[in-house]
Amino acid sequence: MRIMMLTHADDAADVLPSASFLDSHVECLAPVPSSYGALAAADAVLLDARGDLRRARALCQLLSGPMDCPPILLVLEEGGAAVVQSDWGASDFVLAGAAPAELSARLRLLRPRSVEERVVDEDRIEVGDLVIDTTAYTARLRGAILDLTYKEFELLKYLAANRGRVLTRETLLHEVWGEDYIGGSRTVDVHIRRLRAKLGTEHDHIIGTVRNVGYRLDAPGDE
C-alpha cells in the first residue's frame, strides 16, 4: 500500500507515532496545491488535522470532492473527533496516539469496496449477510426480514452505507434525526442497543462501539 501524508512535519512519526510500525513507508508532502497532484498515486492519504480544524475541513472537502482524491484518513488530537462531520468527505479518522494495530486496521478498511459490501443499485445496499432495500424500507439478515422501526431502519441504512467508517454520535444525530432534532446523543445509544438486539447474538457485534466517539458497522471478517 502506498501511503502519503499531508503535513508540515518532516516525518510521519512526528504526527502519528504508530506510523513507524507500518509495513509501508509513509511519504510526507506539504499541504500546498503543488502537492495535490501527486496524491493520485497513493492508495491512502493521511491528513494531519491536529491543528487548524477549519483549514483541515476545507482541504478535506477539496480533495474528496473536485479532486477525487484517494481515501482520506484524518489524524486528529483527542477531542477533535467531536467536530468532524460527514460533509468533510473523509473516509475515517484516527487519533494521533492510536496504537499500531488500530492504525493498520483503519488503513485496511479504507480499501475500495469489495464484493461483500456493494451498492447493487441506488435502492439496494449489501454488507455481508445484511441486505437493505431503501425503496421497500426493508432490511434482511440471511433472508429474514428484520422488524425495525422507521428510525432504526434509517440508522442501520446510514451505518451500512458508511461501512468501516467511525461515525460520531453527533454525525448520526444530524444525518438520521436531522439538524432540528433537540434530543441528546443518548437517543443514538438507545437505538443502537435496540438494533443489536434485533440483529441477534450472532450478528450484534457487526455494530461496533468506538469508546468516547461513536459507532461503526463492519461485515463479518472485517473485525
Rounded mean pLDDT of 121-132? 80
Q: Which residue has the cell 506539504?
A: 30
pLDDT tens digits for range 17-70? 999 999 889 999 999 988 888 888 888 999 999 988 888 988 988 887 766 678
Residue 126 domain boundaries = 117-217
Domains of the chain: total: 2
User: In the 8-state DSSP scheme, what is residue 166?
Assistant: -
- Together in a domain, 177 and 205: yes
Angle made by CA atoms 162, 206, 154, in degrees to the nearest 5: 50
Where a domain ends, among 108, 127, 148?
108
In this structure, what CATH number is given to the domain that contains residue 144?
A: 1.10.10.10
The answer to whether residue 118 scores a pLDDT higher than 90 is: no
How many angstroms separate the CA atoms of 41 and 27, rounded?
11
Q: What is the pTM of this model?
A: 0.53
How confident is the model at residue 119, as a pLDDT? 45
